[in-house]
Each structure stands twice: as C-alpha cells, then as structure tokens.
Structure 1
Amino acid sequence: MQNADGWIRRYHAADHSPIRLVCLPHAGGSASFYFPVSRALSPAVDVLSVQYPGRQDRRHEPGFTDIGAYADALTSALLPWLDRPTALFGHSMGAVLAFEVTRRLERDHGITPVRIFASGRRSPSSFRHETVHLRDDDGIVAEMRELSGTDAAILGNEEILRMVLPAIRSDYTAIENYRAAAADTVKAPITVLTGESDPRTSREEADAWEGHTLGGFDIHRLPGGHFFLAGQQERILEIISEGLAAATRKG
C-alpha cells in the first residue's frame, strides 16, 4: 500500500497500533529495504517505509541533490500520517534526513517525534570532505561494493544498474554537500546505532550525535561495518522495540 504522491509504503498496515515508525533508506536505497522490519514489528507498530524519487516505481522522477529540499518534500508527505505518536529510523543518509525532518516538524508544525533512531551515520555536524558524487559510474559502483549496501544481483545486472545510478548519484550529491552547525538541535531523543568497524563513522563522530538533541541520548555499538544491519537484525529490532515501548509508556 502506498500514498498518492508515492513517498510512503505501508507493507503491513497496523491500524490499531498506538505508535508509528517511519523508516528512511540509505543513499541509493529504496523502501523495500525495510520490508523485513515492517513484517517483524507489525501489528504492534505501524511501519511506514519511505520511497525516494528516482528509483523503482519512481525511477522516472528526478532525484534530489540537496538535503534541505529532500527534507522539505518528505516533511510535507509525512504530515497526513502524524495522527499518532511517531518515531523515525534512518540509516546513513536516512539518519540525516530523519534529523532534518524532525527539525522541520518541531520548528514549523509543533510536532516532536517520540524518538530518532540514527543508524550508520556520523553526527550532522561531523563533516568529511567526500567526492563520490563526482566519480564516473564505475567509481560509484566501486563505492557501493566497498560498503556492501547494494544487492549483488543489482551490481551484476548492467541494465538495472544503469537505471539506479542516477538516483544514487543524486543522493550522494545531496549527502556529501550537507552541512549542519554544532548548534542545530532537536527536542526529540536520539538513539544512535553504529558499526564498530564502519569506515564512514568513527567512534567520536557517532558520539557527537549527543550534542544535537535536547532530549535523551543513548548509543549502541554493534559488530560490523557500514551495513552492520545485515548481520544484526535481531538486536536492532530489540533496540527499536525497546525504544518505542518506552515512548508508548511515557505517552
């Protein structure tokens, strides 16, 4: 099930759940990445998976090359779904989008998500000069292989790969040019999940998320690299469930 403008996928509708979880994919990722999360948490949690433009059934739409514009559009798409307490889970670029969407919800709409789960990403103000978006197609594919975040079947299928590369380049352009100040904060509590051997996020860069919330903060260091999620599904689901249960009790 999806909404009219294409942003939201709701694979396992949980109409009677007291809480929603919005899942935001990584750069180049799609909503289906979170199908297993939706299946595992339903019906206790109503899981919404975000489908970015430029991929799968939205492949003919241009991708965003600016995180601010990305967050503006996604915030508008989410507003009709905020009729119950809502948390956001984002991996890599999705973690930054979760933070920026939360800033807009709090600032412009007076809505504070019950929690942000920021996975596989250094803090918003921890900037690194990166230029993957300037590489040729082969260079971008090499980055995807290094991080092991893309299905091997896609990397080996030339036709599919050429279809998704424009979206991946757009996403990398957006995230690599993103800047946030150390003073940029949200009221929502933040739970950070990070891979112990992630080459894209150091221990200090993950810890720095604490400075971006006026609410509670906790961090979970898990075995693995940038896509540690692949080998830690059970533990990640526990962390999400515990965080949402605490928010439900508080509410």
Structure 2
Amino acid sequence: MPFYDAFGADERTALAADPFSGLGEIVGSGGRHDLPADPAWMSRRGGRSRSPGHDRRRYRMSDPVVCLPYAGAGAGFFRTWQEVAPTGVDLLPVQLPGREERTDEPPHRDVRSAVEAMLRGTALRNAAAGRRPVAVFGHSLGAVLAFELARAVEERTEITMSHVFVSGSPAPARGRAARSADLDTGEFLARVEELAGYRHPAFDVAEFRELLLPTLRADVAMHESYKPVSPHPIDAPITCLRGVEDTLVSREDAMAWAEATSGSFTYAELPGGHMYLTEDPEAVMGVIASTLDSSCG
C-alpha cells in the first residue's frame, strides 16, 4: 500500500504540502492541554504587568518579523500565523533545508552554519529591503537560531535588529542536558512520543519515517550541541514567551534570557505547555504585535 494511503484525504493533502506540520518536537510537547483558569500574565523588567491575550486590532506598520520554527518543522508552520496576523504585522518565515520544498537539501547540523546560511537567505534580505528595522521570532530550536541570527546581524550587517522574540527555550547559558539525537530509531521515536505526548501516524509508515527522521535528528543534534557564539549579550531587546504548563523549560531558565540582552527584557506566559503556540497562534501574535506597536511609538 502506498504510504500516503495510510492517511485520510485531508491528512494526505496536509502532509503533502507540509510533511512536518503537527509533528511536535523531540524537545517539546505537541499534545492537547487543559488550559489554566487564571489569565496569562506578562512582566517587564522595569515595567508593569499585563495580560497578552488575543489582539486583532489594526496596528501601525511594524517591523517585519523573521520567523524560525521548532525542530522538525518548516516555514509552512507559520501559514496559520499569517492568516491571523493583525493588520500591519508582516511575518517572513524562514525555510530551512531538509523540509517541504527543500526536502532534497541536507539539513544543517549546527547553529553556526544555519546562521551563515540565513544571513545570505531571502527572508532576511526581503525583511531589510525597505531599510526598516527587523524583528525575529523563534520557538525552542528556533529561539537559539533567532538569538544567534540577531547577534550576527548586529555584528556583521548594517541592518537594525529591533526586537528578538524567543519562545519555549532556556536561556543560551543554560543549555540542554538531554541527549537524544544519536539514539537508535526505536529509542529515538520512543523519546519523541514520550516528550510530545502522542505518536504521529507518519512515524508508523516506513517510507514516511525514512523521509522525516534525518531532518528531525539533525535539528535535535543542532539544538543539543548548541553553545553560545559569544558570552556577551546582544543589544536588541528580548521578549521571552513560555507556556505556563511547560515541564521542559522552567520559568527560571526562561527568565534567564534577561542576561542575554543589554536592552530591555520582557517575560510572558501563555496558556498551555511546551507547544502552546500550536494551539493558540492569535495569543502569540497579540504579544508580538503589541510589543512592536509600542516600540514604533
């Protein structure tokens, strides 16, 4: 039986367009969560607390936001974000090699090489085309890629990095203790299922598993082997987002991102676990849009 026949018509269409959508992450939780009754909260260093919530207001034209996905995901993950983004917010997803239309290209296995490629990539060039400042967002693996990309932009280009949004990741100096990338296939998939909270049906089909695993392994290796390029903070302000129920990244490790910037720092918690952003992209967009709107004024 052809491997796509293992899925329903809707699933086949989605998987063909973006085989990494919905996979969750080896270092994340892709399952559903019971949301807490208490509202999410945000705290600013030197500022007041506020709730991010949903925000569909029309914003002034903000800085473009370069978006970096979590391990195993591609630019297609951000399609829903583009659909719900408030007017005035311009999202520019980065397509890393090894996924979607770049499936035939070998994936990066270290953060430095990924950043070098992104400096030459179309997303950053498009973002800076109008000589406007640029913001960047990344979740988990994407967070460390966003941070190191911001550093490289500040140190090696004339582009102004206006804001860095990091999500679902301990601060660079905290690192990751777990090592999963080199496990054999069975153990690796068991680790995916353990941390994601479910088993994606694609992994039960040999042909599809062979297609997905190399990039997922490479992404995990890149995240687990990451060391900060420099001990010095970046200049751009940082907003750190975290799911209030995240059991993989503690509040303490997330708030340590304050040490990674010489600018302002904001910490926000939203309902959900490690993969909270898969459940409510509008809440994330509300934080990004209101932050950039404030910085424009």
**TM-score band, normalised by shorter chain:** 0.7 to 0.9
* Structure 2 residue identity aligned to 1:97: L
Cα distance per residue 1:102-160 (max 9 Å; x no partner): 00000011333211110111101102322110111223323333343999343444322
CA drift at 1:198: 1.9
Q: Gaps (5+ residues) in structure 1?
A: 1-15
Q: Residues 20-43 of structure 1, C-alpha deviation per residue, up to 9 Å, x if partnerless?
A: 111100011111111111111265
Matches of 2:159 and 2:190 in 1, distance apart? 40
Unmatched tracts of structure 2, length 5 or more: 1-59
Alignment of structure 1 residues 214-233 onto 2, 5 Å: 214-233=262-281
Is the Cα–Cα contact under 8 Å of residues 182 and 212 in structure 1 kept in the other structure?
no
Q: One-letter code of the match for 1:231?
A: E
Q: In the TM superposition, what is the alpha-carbon distance from 1:67 to its structure 2 partner?
A: 0.6
Equivalent residue for 1:112, pick from 149, 155, 160: 160
1:17, CA displacement in angstroms?
A: 4.7
**Offset at 1:176?**
0.5
The aligned residue for residue 8 of structure 1 is none
The aligned residue for residue 292 of structure 2 is 244
Select which of 68, 88, 99 maps to 2:147. Answer: 99
1:221 is paired with a residue whose SS is strand
Counterparts of 1:1-251 in structure 2 under 5 Å?
17-41=61-85, 43-77=87-121, 78-81=123-126, 82-83=128-129, 84-148=132-196, 152-180=200-228, 183-249=231-297
Question: What CA deviation, in whole Å up to 9, does each residue of 1:159-200 have, x standing for no partner?
Answer: 222201100111111110111278331111111111223232
User: CA–CA distance in 1 between the matches of 2:103 and 2:263?
Assistant: 38
Contact kept, 8 Å, 1:193 with 1:221, in 2: the verdict is yes
> Residue 133 of structure 1: SS of its match in structure 2?
coil
The 3 A distance-change label for structure 1 pair 147 and 241 is: farther
1:220 CA displacement = 0.8
RMSD between aligned alpha carbons? 2.2
In 1, are the aligned partners of 2:170 and 2:256 still within 8 Å (CA)?
yes
C-alpha distance in 2 between matches for 1:148 and 1:64: 23
CA shift digits 1:192-248 (9 cap, x unpaired): 111223232111110110000011111112232210112333321211110121222
Task: Give 1 or 2: higher helix fraction.
Answer: 1
Q: TM (normalized to structure 2)?
A: 0.73
C-alpha spacing 1:166/1:211, structure 2 compared with 1 (3 Å): same
Going from structure 1 to structure 2, the CA distance change for 1:29 and 1:102 (only over 3 Å counts) comes to same
CA distance in 2, matches of 1:149, 1:31: 23
Taking a change above 3 Å as real, the CA distance of residues 244 and 174 of structure 1, as seen in their structure-2 partners, is same
Letter in 2 for 1:148: A
2-structure distance, mates of 1:140, 1:192: 29
Higher relative contact order (CA 8 A, sep 6+): 2
Runs of 4+ in structure 1 deviating by more than 4 angstroms, as ranges, are none
Conservation of the 8 A alpha-carbon contact between 1:147 and 1:226: no
Deviations 1:76-121 (A, max 9, x none): 2144221322211100000000000000000011333211110111
Contact 1:95/1:121, CA 8 A, preserved across alignment: yes
Residue 167 of structure 1: SS of its match in structure 2? helix
CA contact (8 A) 1:125 1:181 kept: no
Kept after mapping to 2: 8 A contact 1:192/1:218: yes
Percent pairwise identity: 35
